[in-house]
Chain A
Amino acid sequence: EIVLTQSPGTLSLSPGERATLVCRASQSISSSYLAWYQQKPGQAPRLLIYSASSRATGIPDRFSGSGSGTDFTLTISRLESEDFAMYYCQQYGSSPETFTFGPGTKVDIK
């Protein structure tokens, strides 16, 4: 079963700065099946990026995703106040069929 790790665990940045979040898979995965979510306290997660690099509906273009194989990145080009939150990556695997989440990266205000 594929395991996802995310780094760093916490990212302390100031508004306007660039955030780079990394998601690594224990073995190569299809980029079609790699997604990123944002979650704020007390709220359900929200899909940001699907298929590694496609922005979901309504997601600002300061969010971008990239990567392939085992290494994937979520970049927030210029942090705004509403971007301070938890971020999770997720992958779908077919053998066994499972949707795995990474442990998350917390982006907080420096």
Chain B
Amino acid sequence: QVQLVQSGAEVKKPGASVKVSCKASGDTFSTYGLSWVRQAPGQGLEWMGWISAYSGHTTYAQNLQGRVTMTSDTSTSTAYMELRSLRSDDTAVYYCAKGTYYGYFYWGQGTLVTVSS
């Protein structure tokens, strides 16, 4: 059974950066793509981008271009999402999700990132 375990909650000041990790187990890491999805308090789901763990190819949501970087380390089966120049509206729960074009079959438990001065 595939498991995705994310790093713990973070509190950051506006303008800072945050890096969230997502460690996969139970399957070949390179199987499927790894996406990041966030959810602001009381809001819906927002796709942020995805990375092919096999090739390292990335695609980012247009509204986050230039502020987000997704990477993966196949030796540790871990994916990372770094978001820079944080603003208060980046406060959200950040999820990693593993899947294909057909859907995300596996999800991490979520990481709360709070941006506050």
Residues of A within 8 A of B (CB): 1, 32-33, 35, 37, 39, 44-47, 49-51, 54, 56-57, 88, 90, 92, 96-104
Interfacial chain A residues near B46, Cβ < 8 Å = 101
The answer to whether B105 and A47 have CB atoms under 8 Å apart is yes
Docked Cα-Cα span, A57 to B1, in Å, equals: 11
Task: Assess whether B88 is interfacial by the CB under 8 Å rule.
Answer: no
Docked Cα-Cα span, A29 to B109, in Å, equals: 30
Interfacial chain A residues near B37, Cβ < 8 Å = 45, 101
Interfacial chain A residues near B35, Cβ < 8 Å = 99
The answer to whether B102 and A50 have CB atoms under 8 Å apart is yes
Q: Determine the interface band of chain B, counting residues with CB < 8 A from chain A.
A: 20 to 34
The answer to whether B102 and A98 have CB atoms under 8 Å apart is no
Interfacial chain B residues near A57, Cβ < 8 Å = 105
Q: Which chain A residue has the least Cβ–Cβ distance from B46?
A: A101
Query: Which residue from A1, A33, A46 sits with its C-beta under 8 Å from B101?
Result: A33
Residues of B within 8 A of A (CB): 35, 37, 44-47, 50, 59, 61-62, 95, 97, 99, 101-105, 107-110
The answer to whether A32 and B44 have CB atoms under 8 Å apart is no
Interfacial chain B residues near A50, Cβ < 8 Å = 102-103, 105
Docked Cα-Cα span, A98 to B49, in Å, equals: 8
The answer to whether A99 and B47 have CB atoms under 8 Å apart is yes
Q: Can you sample 20 A-B contacts with CB below 8 Å?
A: A32-B102, A33-B102, A35-B102, A44-B107, A44-B110, A45-B37, A50-B105, A51-B102, A51-B103, A54-B102, A57-B105, A88-B44, A90-B45, A90-B47, A92-B101, A98-B59, A99-B47, A100-B47, A101-B45, A104-B44
